[in-house]
Chain A
Amino acid sequence: MSEFALLTLLIGALSLIAIGIGGLVLSRNLFRIVLALSLAEAGANLLLVLVGFRRDAIAPIIEQGHALTATMVDPIPQAMVLTAIVIGVGVQALALSLAIRAYVAYGTLDMNVMRSRMETDISDAAGAQPATSQHAPAGGRPLPPISAPRLAHNKGAQG
């Protein structure tokens, strides 16, 4: 494989990381944030494998008939990537389930709205309204679907 191809892959991996992180920072939608995270992880994995690549080498599998002394690529980064991929999917599942629950409770996927609702809930729990404190937390009570005015009110309260 040529120098050019390696550089292309390097740029690809780094761009994937950059796109992922950029998307993660800029997205307000919870679902999109999860997607962006998995993009960035894919980029990081690619980077790791790229680091272990060795030119003119074969995959680290000893095939019958081949000499044991053949040059092979570095197996350790590959093992690390295997681990990292599985870790990534576990975290992704967890994040998705949290997003689902948060969506069910707050009726939105917008991070900013959710954050302000969360702040309100925390202050509520901190004693502003005894009724919504410890014994009846916001997650337990059926929330009405948020209508536009309510949202505006929330935004106003936040600002």
Chain B
Amino acid sequence: MAWADLIILIMVVLVLAGAGAALFLENLLGAAVATALVSLGVSVFFVILRAPDVALTEAAVGAGLSGLLLALAAKRLGLWRIEVQQDSEDAGDSSC
């Protein structure tokens, strides 16, 4: 197995782990960050696949912009405060 293959394998595992984290992290803001990281990882794959344009776009749009959007939305949703977020998870209590 070549080194390149091993690196790709590890990256794939990492990206999938990130995707899992995005779904299972209690902290939704953290989940949003994980999603952005997954995008970043995917953009690395794009570079590997000889698609620099796509990689750039994925990094800028998928990781950067969409991460920003998610973060802003999370702020509006009151998810920056973890204790509130936990409340809303199980009782839907709002303190907005």
Contact = CB atoms under 8 A, between A and B. Distances in A.
Q: In the complex, is A directly touching B at CB under 8 Å?
A: yes
Interface of A: 1-2, 4-5, 8-9, 11-12, 15-16, 19-20, 22-23, 27, 29, 31-32, 34-36, 38-39, 42-43, 45-46, 49-50, 52-53, 57-61, 72-73, 78, 81-82, 85-86, 88-89, 92-93, 96-97, 99-100, 103-104, 106-110, 113, 145-148, 151
A96 B73 contact: yes
Interface string B39-52: 10010011011111
Given A19-B23, A35-B22, A81-B54, A2 B2 contact: yes
Interface of B: 1-2, 4-5, 8-9, 12, 15-16, 19-20, 22-23, 28, 31-32, 35, 38-39, 42, 45-46, 48-54, 57-58, 61-62, 65-66, 69-70, 73-74, 76-77, 79, 88-89, 91-96
A15 B16 contact: yes
Contacts of A89: 61-62, 65-66, 69
A104 B48 CA distance: 43
Contacts, number: 175
**Chain B binding surface, main DSSP class:** helix
A42 B38 CA distance: 8
Given A16-B16, A59-B51, A78-B54, A46 B45 contact: yes
Contact of B95 (A53, A61, A145, A148): A145
What is the predominant secondary structure among interface residues of chain A facing chain B?
A: helix
A85 B20 contact: no
13 contacts: A2-B2, A15-B16, A29-B89, A31-B32, A35-B22, A35-B32, A35-B70, A42-B38, A42-B39, A46-B46, A100-B77, A110-B89, A146-B93
A8 B5 CA distance: 9
Contacts of A92: 66, 69-70
B4 A1 contact: yes
A28 B74 CA distance: 16
A89 B59 CA distance: 12
Nearest to A39: B19
Given A19-B16, A46-B45, A82 B53 contact: yes
